[in-house]
Amino acid sequence: MRTFKHNKITLLLATATMASFCGSALLAQPKATVNGSSIEVMEETVIRLGARGNGKTWRGSIGDTVEVTFYERGSKKTFTGTLDTYREIGRNLATLSVAGMSDGKSDVRTFVVGDVVSITTVEEAKKGTKPAVVTNTNSDAPSKGSATSSKATENTTPAPATSHGWGFPTAPGPEYDHLPKIFMLPIQGGVGDGTRHNEMKQIGEIADSYGPGQIIIFKVDSPGGLVLEADMIHETLMDLKRRHRLIAWVEEAISAAAFTSFHCNEVYFMKTGALGSATMFAGGKAIEGERLRQWVKKFGDVAEESGHPRALAEAMVTNSEMCSYDPADGDTPPVIYDNMDGKIVLSTNEENLTINATDAIACGFADGIADNEDELAELLNLPHWYETTDDGRKIHERWQKTLDIAKLEIPRLLRQLMGQTGMTNDELKNINRQLTACNKLIAWSRRVGNHTSMMMQIPPMEALEEIKKQLLEQLRRLKEQQRG
């Protein structure tokens, strides 16, 4: 642990997250109520809703108590609280955040304006009504693909529509009723933030609602990331593959993303696809000794269990494991070696293996090459490309939007917490602003989870709670001084 003092407060941060604070700044916010302490300044705000809100316009001020209506997993819900921020990020992207309560706890929700159905000013709140609830406001049932409705709708949900928002048909046609359902989940970004077990579990639950034997396709575009998240992905996919046919469709699968792909019994590449280089690092240094041996074994075990060559997988983990192959010859299939005996060398002792699409096909590892859904459908022996629901794409899109907002908000909040910008001569306002930032970072940490928080350099929850405790104590003492 390292101690950092600023503005009469001791911030206890784990060494691993300290770098995210160094050189950071605090951004003043002309708004908000936090823990009952008001920061005045009302700012005129005009918010124009998108298609979901029928293009309606809300007019009010930062600091107003509002009720936001939105959709979550197919159900219409509301969240009530103080309008905390409104930001126009780009020409077609704006966000708003609302500070309220959820399940009896302080919560800050951030919404993409285009996803909001309505915003209503709550006049009663100005008279002392407590903000704060997330509730269902109607009986709209989720689609059949929704994990939350799978048991209730089983065997009773009508057949899906002929196509969905991405333009793909939802069924292969009545003459192909025997074919399995198809679910596509794009996984994009680092393992731990963009690529997580959470979304894989969600699409698995949706596939489960149609019974066992469905096809789940993971479209992989990831440079790797946290082994801790890879371990959770391992548990999720090992469970899913007991019931469904898992397919990896690889654009880029590096490091922990390669480990993820090896869980699938079938692996298809795009023409420019690459997979491998699964070096594990600890403290910025590649692991060695027993820890390395265990990681090599685990990687090899997963590959072997999925029907992939152990030698190929292990050569991706360490350059001490080498790999070569003999290409197919007539009726003789290709042969992979865990040494240099093959005619074509894939990996030497100079670097870990990263395999391209051409070699992946030639050595027998990949099941085919497809650059689009129609080409993949042909390889899977489907009459054409169809997706039973577009839930997987929606899951991906929603999470990517959340990440985009987080990448804008979290650095700003870290700077605000550190008190390096926007400071005034009013110490009470300064502490309130830091407290606001701390509460929002706690909310973000809960929202995105431990591993994504680590990837985004949010301090550990215990450090944030300690900072909050010290800020509240400082606020109490300052108020006592002012009263005295």
Beta strand ranges found along 154-236 (DSSP E): 182-188, 215-222
User: What's the sign of the alpha-carbon dihedral 254, 257, 258, 264?
Assistant: negative
Q: What is the 3-state secondary structure (H, E, C) of 398-419?
A: HHHHHHHHHHHHHHHHHHHHHC
The residue among 95, 84, 107, 104 whose CA lies nearest residue 32 is 84
Provide the whole-model pTM: 0.66
Q: Which residues contact 377 (CB under 8 A, 6 or more apart)?
A: 383, 384, 385, 386
CA dist., res. 313 & res. 303, Å (int) = 6
> What stretch(es) of the chain map to CATH 3.90.226.10?
161-388
User: What's the sign of the alpha-carbon dihedral 465, 449, 86, 88?
Assistant: positive
Going by pLDDT thresholds of 50, 70 and 90, the confidence category of residue 9 is very low
Partnered with residue 195 across adjacent β-strands are 191
Least confident window among 4-13, 316-325, 451-460: 4-13
- 237-283 pLDDT per residue, tens: 999 999 999 999 999 999 999 999 999 999 999 999 999 998 877 66
CATH code of the domain occupying 161-388: 3.90.226.10
Whether the Cβ atoms of residue 438 and residue 464 lie closer than 8 Å to each other: yes
Q: Alpha helix locations (H) across 241-287?
A: 256-261
CA dist., res. 395 & res. 362, Å (int) = 35
Going by pLDDT thresholds of 50, 70 and 90, the confidence category of residue 156 is very low
Residue 20 has pLDDT above 50, yes or no: no
* Start-to-end Cα distance in the chain: 36
The mean pLDDT value of the chain amounts to 80
Q: Is 108 exposed, middle or buried (0-12, 13-18, 19+ CB in 10 A)?
A: buried
Sort residue 32 into left (φ over 0), alpha (ψ -120 to 50) or beta. Answer: left
Which residue's structure tokens are 């994504």?
A: 452
What is the edge-to-edge ordering of all strands in the sheet holding 335-337? 335-337, 323-326, 344-347
